[in-house]
């Protein structure tokens, strides 16, 4: 038989509502259409910001005992319900995991869900989990390659907005989140952006970690690193996850738009001087308060933004004398972040957006 399907999703931003109600009634989606055969699946999604109109015509064979009802009546454990968010294009699949301390998606399943051709498409899967040791919530994340990082700066802003929707919070609100990098405190602002207290940067070489020998107290600042036949000047910083920040080689400063990141990024990530691998930020300085960066993320490759990376960049710029210790704008391919390294408490504060892309469910 021939099938024609059109899915239309609203263009207006939805009013705030409980995500749990969507979980309880997955049929509350924009499209009433859902079908599964042995060859074809349609999964309805709801999106606040754009319209999708897809029409296909094809012949398929549907078993006589197959029906849309059997598809909709499948066990809930066969599916994961999610909301996709992005922070400046760094995109994540958010899962409500508050009822258990075990992730509802395995690392292997996360790899499949993050696939941009055969899955939902994302840089990682983030779980909102019960808090521990007096915190309000716990964050865990699986990268698109299935590895588990300590934390993610853009991801925690997305998690904060997700929690606000789950809990039906309104207006300015802060809460405490336990992560692999320690305690993180995001605060949703009146304008909808999220300001995050990222804590103090870690500069001791052994704790980053890096095998590069310290050259300033116990830190690695503007040290030489040989990569692919070139000598790069690097500064190593941890924001709970490792970062190698470079402003260029020994010969010249970077023009980041000219960088062949897919070629050089993996060579930094897997360099023998970084026993836990590393995120790498390539930085261009416009002024002491305006920086531009591109990032190669450990476990995800090139991404449009990296919150912890932007924080590490400002720290490195200050340590190398390239930036003042005040509020800086860091331009990333997905947009700008506001970063401040406070002299008052030595904490890094990151402010930026987090936006819903769409709601949906997917088979595991």
Positions marked active-site:
152, 306
From 334, 249, 236, 330, select the one nearest 292 (Cα to Cα). 330
Q: Are 213 and 221 in contact (CB under 8 A)?
A: no
DSSP, residue by residue, 68-108: HHHHHTS-GGGEEEEEEEEETTEEEEEEE-TT-SS-SS-HH
Q: Are 184 and 177 in contact (CB under 8 A)?
A: yes
- Rounded-to-integer distance, Cα 319 and Cα 304, Å: 25
Q: Phi and psi at residue 42, in whole multiples of 5°?
A: -125, 130
* Residue 339: C-alpha distances to residues 240, 274, 284, 317, 348 (Å): 16, 25, 16, 12, 7
C-beta atoms surrounding 344 within 10 Å: 5
């Amino acid at each position: 038989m021939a099938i024609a399907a059109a899915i239309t999703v609203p263009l207006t931003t939805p009013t705030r509502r409980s995500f749990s109600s969507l979980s309880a009634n997955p049929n509350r989606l924009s499209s009433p259409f859902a079908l599964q055969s042995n060859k074809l699946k349609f999964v309805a999604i709801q999106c606040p910001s754009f319209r999708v109109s897809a029409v296909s015509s094809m012949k398929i064979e549907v078993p006589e005992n197959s029906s849309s009802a059997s598809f909709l009546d499948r066990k809930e454990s066969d599916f994961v319900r999610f909301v996709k968010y992005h922070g400046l294009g760094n995109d994540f699949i958010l899962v409500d995991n508050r009822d258990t301390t075990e992730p509802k998606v395995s690392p292997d399943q996360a790899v499949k869900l993050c696939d941009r051709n055969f899955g939902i498409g994302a840089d990682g899967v983030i779980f909102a989990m019960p808090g521990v040791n007096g915190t309000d919530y716990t964050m865990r994340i699986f990268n698109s390659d299935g590895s588990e990082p300590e934390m993610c700066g853009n991801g925690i802003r997305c998690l904060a907005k997700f929690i606000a929707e789950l809990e039906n919070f309104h207006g300015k609100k802060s809460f405490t989140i336990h992560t692999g990098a320690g305690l993180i405190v995001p605060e949703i602002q009146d304008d909808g952006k999220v300001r995050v207290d990222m804590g103090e940067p870690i500069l001791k070489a052994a704790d980053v970690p890096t095998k590069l020998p310290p050259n300033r107290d116990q830190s690695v600042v503007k040290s030489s690193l040989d990569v692919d036949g070139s000598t790069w000047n690097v500064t190593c910083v941890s924001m709970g996850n490792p970062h190698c920040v470079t402003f260029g080689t020994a010969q010249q400063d970077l023009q980041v738009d000219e960088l062949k990141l897919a070629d050089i990024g993996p060579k930094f990530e897997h360099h023998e001087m970084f026993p836990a691998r590393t995120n790498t930020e390539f930085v261009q300085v416009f002024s002491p308060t305006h920086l531009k960066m591109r990032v190669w993320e450990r476990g995800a490759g090139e991404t449009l933004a990296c919150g912890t990376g932007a924080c590490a960049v400002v720290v490195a710029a200050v340590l190398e004398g390239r930036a003042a210790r005040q509020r800086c704008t860091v331009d990333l391919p997905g947009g700008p972040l506001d970063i401040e390294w406070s002299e008052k408490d030595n904490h890094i504060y990151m402010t930026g957006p987090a936006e819903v892309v769409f709601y949906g469910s997917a088979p595991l």
